[in-house]
Amino acid sequence: MKRIPFIFALVVLLPVSLMAEKIKVVTTFLPIYAHTKSIAGDLADVRSLVESGAEPHHFQFKPSDMKKLKEANLIIINGLGIEDWLNKALENFTKDHKAIIDTSEGVDLLENPEVIELTAERQGDSHKHSETEKGKNPHIWLDPVSAQIQVRNILKGLQKVDPINAKAYQTNAEIYLNELGKLNQDFKNQIEVLKNKNLITFHDAFPYLAKRYGFKYIACVEDFPEKSPSPQVIKSVVDLIRKNQVTTVFVEEGYSQRALQAIAKESGAKIATLDTIEVGVSEADAYLKRMRSNLETLKLAWK
Ligand SMILES: [Zn+2]
């Protein structure tokens, strides 16, 4: 009889220790990682496929990534075709009934902004930045309100796959959603009041941000660094800048600035950098930190 408590302890402790095994979650790239990690904290093992240095549009899928996917209990994607490099692998996993969350579900989608190509003719479609399967722009995360929808989709996915921690995920998500709400409010208060919000970017990443806060997306300029920009097109961009009194043109981090310098010099517009949050170190607070830095950049440019 003295053994019974020992056996009892075994029976009780064994399932607990099994349940204590963390679920493995694979996210595709930085904003999706940041949202997921902010909800999961240390309750789940969250990893990103696209890591520092790489970017999600032309990601090279490696065998080690396949291993990450195989081990995952849950795969979380942005959706809208940006992770096309994942399609084949995901087909296999759907057959295995692996949980896959498309965070774009329920987000109001927008078309790509008007694109001006700096080079008269282009070399096929390989450079086209945001060609998506549905023909919609995939950069939904750059609008804090759409990001909230993505976060709720992630929360649902985590709770379904890991119901034991459902309550804790809920608590963490509420704190994070509250921060996103503050971010939205700060954009509203500080940007909506500005008068001249004529936006020209060198990346088609910002239609959602533009629509949310009433920017006028004049154009997105595409440059192919291996080709010489056509002087006529440069002139038409300069005319557009003058006509719309654009004070600043926005470029993304790491972008070739050759053609841009010529445009800025000719038109008198300044150059500033907007962050697409596509590249960088996988950190839970990366999204909030870098969107706040975008807010500062826009304020400075348009004040
Ligand atoms: Zn992009």
Domains 11-112+137-185 and 191-302 share a fold: yes
Domain parsing of the chain, residue ranges: 11-112+137-185, 191-302
Q: Cα–Cα distance between 213 and 216 in angstroms, integer?
A: 9
Report the separation in Å between the CA atom of 298 and the middle of ligand 1, taken as the mean of its atom positions.
18
Question: CB of 46 within 8 A of CB of 40?
Answer: yes
Report the separation in Å between the CA atom of 32 and the middle of ligand 1, taken as the mean of its atom positions.
14
Q: Which H helix or E strand runs over 148?
A: helix 144-161
Residues of the chain above pLDDT 70, percent: 85
Ion ligand 1 — residues with CB under 5 Å?
Answer: 205
Q: Cα–Cα distance between 146 and 183 in angstroms, integer?
A: 12
The 3 state secondary structure assigned to 48-100 is ECCCCCCCCCCCCCCHHHHHHHHHCCEEEECCCCCCHHHHHHHHHHHHCCCEE
Closest-CA residue to 50 (of 85, 100, 90): 85
Report the separation in Å between the CA atom of 195 and the middle of ligand 1, taken as the mean of its atom positions.
27
Model confidence pLDDT, tens digit, residues 5-24 = 555 555 555 555 555 799 99
Model confidence pLDDT, tens digit, residues 55-93 = 999 898 888 899 999 999 999 999 999 999 998 888 877
Report the separation in Å between the CA atom of 125 and the middle of ligand 1, taken as the mean of its atom positions.
15
Longest CA–CA separation in the chain, Å: 94
Model confidence pLDDT, tens digit, residues 243-299 = 999 999 998 876 667 778 888 999 999 999 999 999 999 999 999 999 999 999 999
Report the separation in Å between the CA atom of 9 and the middle of ligand 1, taken as the mean of its atom positions.
54
Q: Which CATH architecture has domain 11-112+137-185?
A: 3-Layer(aba) Sandwich (3.40)
Q: Which CATH class is domain 191-302?
A: alpha beta
Q: Which residue has the tokens 């053609």?
A: 259
